[in-house]
């Protein structure tokens, strides 16, 4: 630290120091001399006063001398320079953006205080140093954060923003924030443009190789505000599976733990189901590695679905937000499916339902969630009540079938049924059943029109073969593909918007549909590339019907050999049975949207862990099979409260879901300097040294004022 | 034509001390002194032409019958009164705030009294104290020419100026020795600035010896009010003490102390039976003398010197 003067010549003014001294001395000489007879009275009177007067005179001399000196020194504009602790900041008109890391990692405790507090303090200092003429914006670098639209000189508001800033629950997306900062600065007319990056600098916050700005971009000033190492441990994944080995209520919780530090760690974990801690365990995790801990636990008796969490406990680390992860654990109800085979075959692979059975009950496992019974179309006669009444005495006849034992009936390539059977089925559907009708060579549109209409969402027309007359090598290119499916529909939830496991399947032949029937809420869930409907849904009474315009085997398409076939069929039967598997395996991250099936509810309310949420009612829910909830801002359990058509309101455990942190944000390994975008020219000059000049004349002016005030008071006395 | 009231500072500018004394006595207070100072046992001395103010009982009616003119009979005192005038000429008497110095005021007063005393043909003695090195004493005589000697000495003291720190107490002691058993009238003109109250005690002792004692306490108005403004360095007239002070800050306290001092002097001397008169130097001299003479005329016959 050294002292210098901008106008050292002004120090000559320090000679003015002589003025008060001279005044003092002259004043002493100018004191009237009175030869006085009664001096003894005077001296006896005020010996103390005289002492005080002498002291006052001396203090007054000192104050006046200091005031003169202060004026001279202030005019010489003294300054001192000290090592920059902060960033290179110059004062004056300019445009600047403070990119502030408010990812959940910014809650990392450093010296007992969240890192974000240190960061906002630093940001406030920068604001002060930039001065009131600077146009500034604050851009938060957490993923999905709202960004400002313009720079402002309202520093007071910016300070309020800084004060109100709290760690979010999202990972850092520094690259996007820098790009936004560059956009804001590009709109400014100032020559000097600077981006101050106040970030934990985690590698995971940067993505892509592209720089957010070009050569003429702003000057980037990254701040080193973090210790070189920020050790952290986090639960990075949590999965729950049924564990039949532990009984019908057994569940296996697999918690993946990440150790983002340089030293191996022995971590204590605990599993809580509901509010109760049910298991504890420890886990050795290598430095920078991951390890999985499995807890086997029984779900409480009496509940079919509950929430569970695994946390690092009892001692959490400096970043506690990511030390816990939630999961929904629910006992799945088996969906009971009656498969009606319209084209049975002695060669299993050629059977109409060969792939369907495999998809609904993979590996024929008990825990597949589906129980399947396959019958032929003739055996379907067993559903007729009269037949059932007389059936016991006719051994050659089909065995009696009680439709109440099933949730879903699949009519796969079944020839048109007699009206009485259709009536029985339609009554059953109206009472809440679900029916899936697929097309095929046995499906005669005329006959279907004649008798099957009560079971269909729409009448059928003749099928078309798009490869008809095509040469074998052209066959594939003329095939149709599935496009435009309802991504928000529960059936398509497992699939992305352009999922190749569905889109790559080739359709060679499909049934066309006739004019729309009177079914009110008919809905096309998916279409082919030629615009023809592929999957149509409609409600019949309390039940649902689903019409698939192609075959469930390989006769008309090759979907059964594509990965999308199994989830599509499973979702379809679960949807028809209204036994959704929501929440059991879906891992929602903070900020993602969650699709909730409406399951005939009139009103649906979602409540997040902080009590906030959303209410869907009226137009937002009427006529929809699902709603989309987007306010997943906090990790934790989101409860769903539903009001059914009868007006009864209660918590819908099966719809509750959990939201977790994005585990990427837990890795705080610093990004190498090469990952930072190159600092642009900024069209301005940034100070190139690491020393900062502090002007002192303000302080001197304040001292001068105080001295003048003191002088005034002393003179008055 | 003299002004009705004599301004002491104007009077001081007049000629020699005898003239000043005559101006004061004949101009301002003629007619009073005779009654005040007449002896109790007298014998005829001479006739004097009547002048207004003379007592009618002394008019010689027989002479009037003879010459048709009024004559007043004058008597010679059978036993003469001895009057000692004591002038405090110590350095503190040199102070004269805005007008004449205290010494000059005191000198003029005593000169006027000397004139009166000699006119009454009483014995008049003079002592001046202050400077220990110079012995100033005029033994009492009653001759008219003696007045010139007394006034010359008085004039000399005044011209020499106030000096020294000798208290009047010593001079008063001398008088006690000189008068022995014969009672005298002692008139002291002083400022009584005596740190150890010796003067007050000496005055009381004289009074105890049945002498008639009057004190003219000469005080300058500035000493009473301390009217100075601004930073002032006060220097002692008698010692080397100095004091730099803002008078405004201490004025009130000083005035209280000064009043307490005056009250103490008055009460102490009154208690001892001493005739005390405070004489401010801005007061007309004849008024001061009149007050003294009137007060003396009112004294009980027993107290009156004979």
pLDDT for res A395: 45
How many CB atoms sit inside 10 A of residue A90's CB?
Answer: 17
Q: Are residues B178 and B49 in the same domain?
A: no
Mean pLDDT of A156-176: 91
pLDDT per position as a tens digit, A396-428:
455 678 888 888 999 999 988 888 888 888 888
pLDDT at A1 over 70: no
Q: Mutating which of B257, B259, B280 best tests the A interface, going by the most A Cβ atoms within 10 A? A: B257
Chain B CB contacts of A35 below 8 Å: 94-95, 234-237
- Confidence band of B179 (pLDDT split at 50, 70, 90): confident
Both structure tokens of A645: 């058509």
Chain A CB contacts of B164 below 8 Å: none
Give the list of residues 6+ apart from residue A611 with CB closer than 8 angstroms, or none.
none
B2 within domain boundaries: no
Cis status, amide bond into A314, omega within 30 of 0: yes
Q: Are residues B191 and B121 in the same domain?
A: yes
- CA dist B172 and B167 (Å) reads 9
Mean pLDDT of B227-246: 83
pTM here is: 0.47
Q: Is residue A302 left, alpha or beta, with left meaning phi > 0 and alpha meaning psi from -120 to 50?
A: left
B3 within domain boundaries: no
Mean pLDDT of A611-633: 84
Asked if A53's CB is within 8 angstroms of B258's CB, the reply is no
B125 within domain boundaries: yes
Residue B27 DSSP one-character state:
I
The percentage of residues in chain A with a pLDDT greater than 70, rounded to a whole number, is 89
B218 within domain boundaries: yes
B232 within domain boundaries: yes
Q: Are residues B70 and B88 in the same domain?
A: no
pLDDT for res A262: 87
Q: Are residues B188 and B218 in the same domain?
A: yes
Residues paired with residue A195 on neighbouring β-strands, in sequence order: A97, A220
Mean pLDDT of A26-46: 77
Nearest to B253 among A34, A37, A46 (CB): A46
- CA dist A326 and A717 (Å) reads 75
pLDDT per position as a tens digit, B121-155:
788 899 998 887 777 888 888 888 888 888 889 88
Contact A547, A456 (CB under 8 A): yes
Nearest to A31 among B232, B237, B239 (CB): B232
Asked if B237's CB is within 8 angstroms of A36's CB, the reply is yes
Q: Are residues B182 and B98 in the same domain?
A: yes
Pick the last residue of a domain from B21, B52, B77. Answer: B77
pLDDT for res B41: 45
Contact A45, A699 (CB under 8 A): no
pLDDT per position as a tens digit, A11-21:
888 888 888 88
pLDDT at A56 over 70: yes
pLDDT per position as a tens digit, B72-127:
887 654 456 788 999 999 988 999 887 889 999 999 889 888 888 888 778 889 99
Mean pLDDT of A502-522: 80
Looking at CA atoms only, how far is residue B95 from chain A in angstroms? 6
- CA dist A65 and A77 (Å) reads 19
Q: Are residues B212 and B69 in the same domain?
A: no
Q: Are residues B28 and B59 in the same domain?
A: no
Whole-number average pLDDT of chain B:
80
pLDDT for res B262: 93
State the residue range of the domain holding B255.
Answer: 8-33+81-300
pLDDT per position as a tens digit, A338-379:
999 888 888 888 888 889 888 887 766 666 677 888 888 888
Asked if A34's CB is within 8 angstroms of B228's CB, the reply is yes
Nearest to A39 among B243, B246, B258 (CB): B243
Q: Are residues B212 and B86 in the same domain?
A: yes
Pick the last residue of a domain from B24, B50, B77. Answer: B77
Asked if B261's CB is within 8 angstroms of A41's CB, the reply is yes
Out of A287-291, A611-615, B32-36, B237-241, which region has the weakest mean confidence (pLDDT)?
B32-36
Question: Chains A, B: CB contacts under 8 A, how many?
Answer: 94
SS3 A280: strand
Residue listed under structure tokens 């005038």: B85
Predicted complex ipTM exceeds 0.90: no
Q: Are residues B113 and B156 in the same domain?
A: yes
Helix (H) or strand (E) holding A62: helix A47-75
Looking at CA atoms only, how far is residue B168 from chain A in angstroms? 16
CATH label of the domain that carries residue B87: 3.40.50.410
Domain count within chain B: 2
B73 within domain boundaries: yes
pLDDT for res B86: 92
Mean pLDDT of A186-191: 87
Quick one: how many helices (H) and strands (E) in chain A? 14, 35
pLDDT at B12 over 90: no
pLDDT per position as a tens digit, A634-659:
899 898 888 888 888 888 877 888 89
pLDDT for res B45: 66
Nearest to B231 among A31, A45, A49 (CB): A31
B29 within domain boundaries: yes
Q: Are residues B166 and B69 in the same domain?
A: no
Q: Are residues B58 and B189 in the same domain?
A: no
- CA dist A462 and A446 (Å) reads 9
Asked if B95's CB is within 8 angstroms of A35's CB, the reply is yes
Whole-number average pLDDT of chain A:
83
Contact A403, A425 (CB under 8 A): yes
Q: Are residues B96 and B71 in the same domain?
A: no
Mean pLDDT of A657-669: 88
Asked if B234's CB is within 8 angstroms of A42's CB, the reply is yes
User: Residue A590: which of A230, A144, A228 has the closest Cα?
Assistant: A144
Chain B CB contacts of A33 below 8 Å: 232-235
Asked if A42's CB is within 8 angstroms of B237's CB, the reply is no
Asked if B195's CB is within 8 angstroms of A49's CB, the reply is no
pLDDT at B305 over 60: no
- Confidence band of A598 (pLDDT split at 50, 70, 90): confident
Q: Mutating which of B100, B230, B250, B261 best tests the A interface, going by the most A Cβ atoms within 10 A? A: B250
B161 within domain boundaries: yes
């Amino acid at each position: 630290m050294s002292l210098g003067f901008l106008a050292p010549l002004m120090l000559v003014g320090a000679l003015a120091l002589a003025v008060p001294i001279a005044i003092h001395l002259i004043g002493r000489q100018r004191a009237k001399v009175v030869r006085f007879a009664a001096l003894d009275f005077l001296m006896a009177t005020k010996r103390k006063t005289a002492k005080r007067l002498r002291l006052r005179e001396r203090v007054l001399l000192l104050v006046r001398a200091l005031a003169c000196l202060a004026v001279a020194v202030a005019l010489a504009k003294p300054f001192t320079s000290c090592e920059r602790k902060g960033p290179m900041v110059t004062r004056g008109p300019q445009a600047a953006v403070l990119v502030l890391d408010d990812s959940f990692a910014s809650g990392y405790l450093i010296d007992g205080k969240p890192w974000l507090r240190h960061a906002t303090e630093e940001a406030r200092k920068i604001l002060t140093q930039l001065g009131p003429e600077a146009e500034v914006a604050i851009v938060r670098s957490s993923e999905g954060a709202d960004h400002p639209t313009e720079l402002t000189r309202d520093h007071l508001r910016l300070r309020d923003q800084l004060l109100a800033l709290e760690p979010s629950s999202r990972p850092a997306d520094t690259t996007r924030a820098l790009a936004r900062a560059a956009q804001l600065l590009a709109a400014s007319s100032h020559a000097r443009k600077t981006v101050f990056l106040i970030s934990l600098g985690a590698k995971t916050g940067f993505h892509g190789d592209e720089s957010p700005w070009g050569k003429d971009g702003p000057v980037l000033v990254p701040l080193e505000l973090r210790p070189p190492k920020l050790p952290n441990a986090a639960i990075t994944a949590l999965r729950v599976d049924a564990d039949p080995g532990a009984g019908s209520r057994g569940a296996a919780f697999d918690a993946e733990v990440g150790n983002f530090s340089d030293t191996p760690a022995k971590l204590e974990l605990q599993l809580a189901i509901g509010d109760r801690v049910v298991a504890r365990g420890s886990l050795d995790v290598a430095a920078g590695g991951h390890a999985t801990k499995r807890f086997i636990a029984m779900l409480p008796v009496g509940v079919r679905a509950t929430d569970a969490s695994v946390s690092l406990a009892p001692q959490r680390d400096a970043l506690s937000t990511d030390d816990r992860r939630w999961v929904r654990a629910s006992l799945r109800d088996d969906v009971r499916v009656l498969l009606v085979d319209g084209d049975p075959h002695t060669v299993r692979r050629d059977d109409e339902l060969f792939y369907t059975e495999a998809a609904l009950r993979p590996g024929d496992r008990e825990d597949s969630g589906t129980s399947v019974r396959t019958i032929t179309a003739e055996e379907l006669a067993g559903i007729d009540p009269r037949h059932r009444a007389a059936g016991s005495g006719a051994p050659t006849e089909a065995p009696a079938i009680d439709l109440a034992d099933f949730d879903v009936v699949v009519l796969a390539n079944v020839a048109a049924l007699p009206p009485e059977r259709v009536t029985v089925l339609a009554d059953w559907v109206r009472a809440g059943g679900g029916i899936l009708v697929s097309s095929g060579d046995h499906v005669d549109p005329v006959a279907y029109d004649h008798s099957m209409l009560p079971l269909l969402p729409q009448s059928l027309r003749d099928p078309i073969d798009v490869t008809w007359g095509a040469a074998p090598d052209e066959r594939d290119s003329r095939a149709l593909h599935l496009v435009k499916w309802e991504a928000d529909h529960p059936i398509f939830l497992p699939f992305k918007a352009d999922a190749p496991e569905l889109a790559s399947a080739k359709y060679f032949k499909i049934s066309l549909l006739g004019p729309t029937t009177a079914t009110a809420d008919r809905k096309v869930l998916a279409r082919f590339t030629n615009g023809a409907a592929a999957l149509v849904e409609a409600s019949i009474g309390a039940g649902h019907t689903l019409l698939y315009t192609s075959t469930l085997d390989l006769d008309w398409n090759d979907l059964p050999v594509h990965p999308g076939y199994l989830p599509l069929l499973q979702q379809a039967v679960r949807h028809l049975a209204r036994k959704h598997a929501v929440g059991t395996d879906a891992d929602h991250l903070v900020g993602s949207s969650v699709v909730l099936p409406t399951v005939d509810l009139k009103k649906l309310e979602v409540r997040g862990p902080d009590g906030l949420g959303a209410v869907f009612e009226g137009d937002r829910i009427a006529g929809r099979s699902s709603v989309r909830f987007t306010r997943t801002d906090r990790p934790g359990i989101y409860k769903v409260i539903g009001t059914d058509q009868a007006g009864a309101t209660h918590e819908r455990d099966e719809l509750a879901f959990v939201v977790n942190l994005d585990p990427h944000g837990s890795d705080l390994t610093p990004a190498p300097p090469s990952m930072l975008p190159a600092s642009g020219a900024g069209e301005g000059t940034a100070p190139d040294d690491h020393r900062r000049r502090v002007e002192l004349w303000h302080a001197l002016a304040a001292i001068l004022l105080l001295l003048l005030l003191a002088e005034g008071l002393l003179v008055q006395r | 034509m003299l002004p009705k009231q004599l301004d002491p500072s104007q009077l001081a500018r007049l000629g020699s001390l005898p003239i000043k004394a005559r101006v004061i006595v004949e101009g301002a207070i003629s007619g009073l002194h005779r009654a005040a100072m007449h002896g109790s046992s007298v014998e005829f001395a001479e006739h004097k032409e009547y002048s207004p103010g003379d007592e009618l009982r002394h008019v010689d009616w027989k002479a009037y019958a003879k010459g048709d003119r009024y004559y007043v009979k004058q008597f010679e005192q059978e036993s003469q009164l001895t009057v000692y005038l004591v002038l405090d000429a110590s350095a503190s008497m040199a102070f004269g705030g805005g007008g004449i110095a205290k010494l000059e005021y005191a000198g003029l007063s005593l000169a006027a009294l000397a004139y009166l005393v000699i006119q009454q043909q009483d014995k008049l003695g003079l002592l001046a104290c202050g400077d220990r090195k110079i012995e100033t004493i005029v033994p009492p005589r009653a001759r008219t020419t003696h007045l010139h000697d007394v006034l010359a000495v008085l004039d000399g003291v005044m011209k020499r100026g106030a000096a020294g720190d000798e208290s009047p107490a010593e001079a008063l002691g001398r008088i006690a020795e000189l008068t022995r058993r014969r009672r005298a009238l002692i008139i002291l003109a002083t400022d009584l600035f005596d740190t150890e109250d010796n003067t007050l005690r000496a005055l009381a002792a004289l009074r105890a010896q049945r002498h008639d004692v009057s004190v003219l306490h000469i005080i300058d108005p500035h000493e009473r009010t301390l009217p100075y403004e601004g930073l002032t360095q006060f220097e002692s007239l008698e010692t080397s003490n100095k004091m730099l002070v803002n008078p405004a800050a201490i004025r009130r306290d000083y005035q209280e102390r000064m009043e307490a001092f005056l009250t103490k002097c008055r009460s102490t001397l009154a208690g001892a039976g001493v005739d005390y008169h405070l004489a401010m130097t801005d007061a007309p001299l004849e008024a001061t003398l009149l007050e003294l003479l009137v007060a003396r005329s009112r004294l009980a016959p027993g107290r009156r010197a004979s």
